[in-house]
A and B are shown apart, each in its own frame.
Chain A
Amino acid sequence: MTAKLDEKLEPIFQDVLHRNPGESEFHQAVHEVLETLGPVLVKYPEFADKKIIQRICEPERQIIFRVPWQDDNGEIHINRAFRVEFNSALGPYKGGMRFHPSVYLGIIKFLGFEQIFKNALTGLPIGGGKGGSDFDPKGRSDDEVMRFCQSLMTELYRHLGEYTDVPAGDIGVGGREIGYLFGQYKRITNRYESGVFTGKGLEWGGSRARTEATGYGTVFFTHEMLKARGDSLDGKTVVVSGSGNVAIYAIEKAHELGAKVIACSDSGGMIVHEKGIDLQTLRRIKEVERRRISAYTEFHKDAKYVEGGNIWSVPCDVALPCATQNELNGKDAKTLVENGCIAVAEGANMPTTPEGIDIFQSAKLAYGPGKAANAGGVATSALEMQQNASRDSWTFDYTQKRLEEIMIDIHKNCYATAAEFGSEGNYVLGANITGFLRVARAMNAMGVI
């Protein structure tokens, strides 16, 4: 919270501090959004007049409730759950549920606030919200997780609906938990309302291409960034950090678009394969055998495994950080720039440190921030809702095509917004303002509600 706010925004932020004491993460998130909005208020003074920002900072509804449940030994536990229905200007509240001991209102509000703009950026009709509980699934049996989910939904169901609030998964909430939550919702309401949850299993209302969405989306976004510069991915050398879903499908799509991915990594080290990473082998190791990436060399003797190696030291044209937060710092950014890297797109959430971002932006390389470049996952949630609403199940190719269109739109909007505000090619600014503008315009149109 170091950057100084516009003088019109500072009182708004002080008010947020005053009204939401002890919620440091939320304060930080609001500050980060406000930091970029100075020029917006100059250009759109009506948003200030209508107190759009103050309204955005206040959730439409906050629900806090008790979740009692019994463990396998019959002992009773009481957790606290939250659902913050932050903003529905663009569509039903949409955001994941997080089960983690760190969950408290401040965290949920922070995540819900960010979700508003993330969802808005996709251009799809979804609002923003977030929920969760301080329940820790770690070490809990399936039955215990089921009992907890059922208890939680026994209260939460009344606040949900495919046109009202549509939760999804997040940390601690995966396919298993979505199943238990949806099952209890269906049981209580006596309605098979598929669209009330996203992230469902494919056989009961889920969408194809969900697993691939974020990785594919990142590469589509990268491709668009290069196209905007009169270039393309074809023939480019790429390094991808990580080897999870995002990384694997980013590699797949990059190969499909003519690039050659020569390195990927996991927490133990990196593989460099100058011939190009063999996706079949990578999937076998990571998705089927669930082993460390070092096993890659068992299948490809010409590949090199570097224990603890820094993947950003591998010369490349394009870098896709798809592993984890803060994995790419200033020094790494400098190395990439010196090695001639022309584009960086974030498949992971906040993988580049602020110092790294500064270096990329100073070097004028194409830098796609995570909130835009990895929006493919959010987009697929909206696509799942569309399929549920139309009682349809799209093919993989069609879903992928829709995903690509969304990513192209996101890029176009970010690019255009950045240009509108005099920073052509600054996707950070473009992404921050695009999402806000969509929400603000909708709120403005709907009157004081």
Chain B
Amino acid sequence: MSNQEPLQPEDRISTGLLGLDEVLDGLRIGDNVVWRVSDLDDYRRFVRPFLETAADTGRQIIYLRFGDHPPVIEQHPAVRTIEIDALGGFESFTSRVWHLIEQHGRGAFYVCDSLSELLNAWATDAMVGNFFRVVCPFLFELDTVAWFALHPDRHSRMTLDRIRETTQVMIDVHRHGDNVQIHPIKAWRRQSPTMFLPHRESEGRFQPITDSSDATRLQASLELEHLHRQPLLDYWDRLFQDASRALSEKDEGSIAELQDQVLQVLISRDPQILELARHYLSLEDLLGIRSRLIGSGSIGGKATGMLIARNLLLKENPALWQHYLEPHDSSYLGTDAYYAFLVHNGLWPAIMRQRSEAGYLAEAPALKEGILAGQFPDEIRPELERLLDHYGQYPILVRSSSLQEDGFGNAFAGKYESVFLVNQGSPEHRLAALENAIRQVYASSMSDEALHYRKQRGLHQREEPMALLIQRVNGRFHGRYYLPDAAGVGVSRNTFAWDSSMDPKAGMVRLVMGLGTRAVDRIEGDHACVMALDHPLRQPFRNQDESYRFSQHLVDLLDLEAGTLDTRPLSQVLESATELPMSHLAEVDRAATTRAEQIGLEGPVWRLTFRPLVQKGCFIARLSSLLKTLEAGYRHPVDVEFTLHLDDQGDPSFNLVQCRPLATVGETGPVNLPDHIAAEKLLFRTDGHFMGGNINLTIRRVIRVDAGIYSELSTSERYEVARLVGEQVRSSDTPTLLIGPGRWGTTSPELGVPVRFSDIAGVAALVEVSEKAGHMVPDLSYGSHFFQDLVETGIAFAALFPETDHCRYFPEILANTHVSGVSSPSPETAVCVHNLNNRPLQLRGDVVRQQLICFFSD
């Protein structure tokens, strides 16, 4: 405030009390007036005359009502009371107030409930200060006068200081029996010889206490009153202090209550997550989290998922997981630190613009830039330094952990950034890198992808503060490289069961050597090892050559010299990292080794098939147990990210880095399968026989190969069909379902359409139909021709057997939209393109119920 020294109109506004006007030299347009009162009645007695006077001058008066205390203003004809729910959180509350101020425009007067009430809703005191720092300048800008109250003992010094620094007028009110004293603390750009002395009220006037000994006595008596009160800790600190005390005193009654309170402020308000957290995060655990938390507020969804999952395993199967679950020493940056960062950098107005319908996407780039250029508040930087001291020079990973992330129904998978830091160099350099990483993750909340995702799921109006999970990267130093032995993604339901004998309930894993980024992200041109946990060695390959070809060839690692996250060919990594546990993870490719020798390269050539890991040890048994335990605990299928640490014998320990309810492929939230669909609206329905997990897609185009016509074509014409399909798929990026007889991608055209994966990589869903027509052999591939590619691209896949009871298929419902006329059999007539722009199909799959339905929703 003082930095900018904005202009303020000289017009005097009355407080309604002549005596007070004399003390303060009146109020000014733009004044924010903060009353520090121990008893809200002391605030009320000053509000009333102010209201009456303002009403007499015809001012628009708004009472912002958000506290639990009795109203500050009872019914008053000149006052419009607006109730605001502070429980929605800092962002939604602040946004609402902001919009109200904006809506009421210039010159309105405001009376607010006690700011201290916000502590009940938000728990964290710093946020009260941040709220004030956001709205106070805005009120000033709009020529308003706004009154606030707060309780002086319920806020930290830092918060009080920030409020004092921001406001124009601050007045302490003390009362001894019927004697009321006021003590102006701040009156911006006003002064008199006695203005900042304590004043005693007497017959409507306020007399300054001009005798120093009176003032000293007064001060001493005030201090005496405060002596037995709690020290100046904010609500947050007091909560944890109480928790600590309850634990040390084994006060069971308080422990349960405090656990609940702490969970609300530190973990989540989502009822499902809270229920889990109550079971698996004890008050002691919560204190442990607090000790590793920078700032205040929630640790966000990702961190919560990881912690719940770890504790769930340790509690439900301690014998196993005390041995085989690697310890963790993660740190957290609370959600309030994110808001503090925004407020500190003056980005709130930009946030408000971005939150509007028009600004949702348009304002995001500027906001992103603002975040990337932002500075951290002074109280955060030393904490970051201490965090770096803790991890030494081990690489660390800065991960998003937003409030909604990894919750039930909203995975936000890959929507926000995670940043690896090699954490090398001088402390200053490492701190700068960490700050950059945090800014980068914060800024990713404004990425197009994240914003679209939130909007599609109707979450764009909900607050989404970004907490951070900061983890030591699990791994080992190998010369210039740093990487874990292996990493993977485990899913408790096999969403890619490519063989009918595989039980989807057994789960699956995508496994890689090195950093798990290759298992988490879709990778083009390379392949993670995908295993069904009930048939881990069963691969959809015809022979060893294929299995080697579709294995992992590139390794993600941290290059300590280059200071980057990098991807290197395995052969290149092995040249400098000679102690990698290859014999536990890979097989020697004999044929390739021979060829290598022929061209003067050194062998052996390793292939990352992970067979030794599966065959020799307990990896699969442990992962299956881990997923089953977590699914039972969550009462929902889960997916987890983990790294593996192998001992000398190759026995794996797990470092669980993430756990969340299994996500959905598609656009919107949780999958709801309609109970009944009229036959004329149903394209197909199948129980089982689909891959891709939960599916929720809107299909705007169907490309269908007509089985009858296809069966009439010659081999050469069938290849032409494949080519035409490729052309059609590539011609548009409309969400497309490709459906046809037999095996897509077969090399035998009599079995299906011999497309190459590159022809069809752009489709949203691929469906094989066991349609017996002509000389077609109705034998489906279950996607095994493209298995690895389907996994990598996330294309949903289904196999339909219309002759069986568990499947219904009505291609004729597409007839009305069919653009090509039926004529003599030719490749052109075999490929039917149905554009459904105005009447899209819905494709929905529920992995738990094992049902997939494709239907018109109108």
Contact = CB atoms under 8 A, between A and B. Distances in A.
A1 B605 CA distance: 49
Interface in B741-794: 746-748, 750-751, 754, 756-758, 775, 777, 779, 784
A1 B595 contact: no
Contacts of A294: 525
A386 B723 CA distance: 42
How large, as a class, is the contact surface on chain A? 35 or more
B537 A141 contact: yes
A268 interface: yes
A351 B715 CA distance: 12
Contacts, number: 106
A334 interface: no
Interface in A285-314: 287-292, 294-295, 298, 308
Nearest to B502: A139
B569 A295 contact: yes
A395 interface: no
Interface string B609-626: 000000000000000000
A283 B595 contact: yes
Interface stretch (A21-29, A40-48, A159-167, A337-345): A21-29
Interface in B179-237: none
Contact of B723 (A268, A289, A326): A326
Given A139-B499, A139-B539, A288-B596, A101 B779 contact: yes
Contacts of B607: 290
B539 A291 contact: no
B73 interface: no
A138 B540 contact: yes
Nearest to B569: A289
B716 A326 contact: yes
Given A267-B757, A289-B553, A102 B779 contact: yes
Interface in B654-685: none
B599 interface: yes
A174 B540 CA distance: 17
B587 interface: no
A288 B758 contact: no
A288 B779 contact: no
Given A268-B758, A288-B605, A326-B720, A139 B545 contact: no
Interface residue SS majority, chain A: loop
Contact of A101 (B596, B751, B757): B751
Interface in A216-236: none
B823 interface: no
A289 B756 CA distance: 22
A290 B549 contact: yes
B723 A25 contact: no
Nearest to A287: B595
B601 interface: yes
B784 A291 contact: no
A283 B595 CA distance: 8
B715 A28 contact: yes
A54 interface: no
A100 interface: yes
A17 to B, nearest CB: 13
Given A141-B537, A329-B723, A24 B716 contact: no
B592 A287 contact: yes
A267 B758 contact: yes
Contacts of A22: 775
Interface string B697-730: 0000000000000000011100110110000000
A353 B569 CA distance: 38
B752 to A, nearest CB: 9
Nearest to A140: B538
Q: Is chain B's interface secondary structure helix, strand, loop, or mixed overall? A: loop
A101 B750 CA distance: 11
Residue picked from A1, A25, A102, A139, most chain B C-beta under 10 Å: A139
A171 B570 CA distance: 30
A289 B572 CA distance: 10
B543 A137 contact: yes
B595 A176 contact: no
Contacts of B722: 326
Interface string B507-538: 00000000000000000011000000000011
Nearest to B570: A289
B720 A139 contact: no
Interface in B466-520: 498-499
Nearest to A107: B750
Contacts of A138: 540-542, 784
B548 interface: yes
Interface string B578-607: 000000000001001001100101000101
Contacts of A354: 716
A284 B601 CA distance: 8
Given A28-B715, A139-B784, A267-B758, A174 B545 contact: yes
B571 A176 contact: no
A289 B571 contact: yes
A174 B544 CA distance: 10
Interface residues of B, number: 49
Given A290-B549, A290-B553, A294-B525, A141 B538 contact: yes
Given A101-B751, A267-B756, A137 B542 contact: yes
A242 to B, nearest CB: 12
Interface string B550-582: 010110000000000000011100000000000
A326 B750 contact: no
A284 B754 CA distance: 29
Interface in A197-248: none
A353 B757 CA distance: 20
Contacts of B714: 1, 28
A423 interface: no
B525 A292 contact: yes
Contacts of B537: 141
A325 interface: yes
Identify which of B541, B551, B716, B754 gathers the most chain A CB atoms within 10 Å of its CB: B716
A139 B592 contact: no
Contacts of B601: 284, 288
A139 B543 contact: no
Nearest to A202: B594
Nearest to B595: A287
A110 to B, nearest CB: 10
Contacts of A292: 525-526
B720 A290 contact: no
Interface in B248-278: none
A125 interface: no
A332 to B, nearest CB: 11
Contact of A171 (B551, B592, B747, B779): B747
A25 B715 CA distance: 9
B248 to A, nearest CB: 57
Contacts of B544: 176
Interface in A70-105: 100-102, 104
Nearest to B749: A325
A284 B569 CA distance: 12
Contacts of A308: 758
Q: Which of A22, A280, A289, A295 has the most CB of B within 10 A?
A: A289
A353 B719 contact: yes
A104 B748 CA distance: 13
Contacts of B554: 291
A82 to B, nearest CB: 15
A155 B538 CA distance: 28
State the 3 A-B residue pairs at the shortest beta-carbon distance, nearest first: A326-B719, A287-B595, A292-B525
24 contacts: A24-B775, A101-B751, A102-B748, A102-B751, A102-B779, A138-B540, A139-B499, A139-B538, A139-B540, A171-B748, A172-B542, A283-B595, A283-B599, A287-B592, A288-B595, A288-B596, A288-B605, A289-B569, A289-B570, A290-B548, A292-B525, A324-B756, A325-B719, A326-B722
Given A101-B779, A137-B542, A329-B723, 14 more contacts: A1-B714, A141-B537, A171-B748, A284-B599, A287-B592, A289-B605, A291-B553, A291-B554, A292-B525, A294-B525, A324-B756, A325-B747, A326-B723, A350-B716
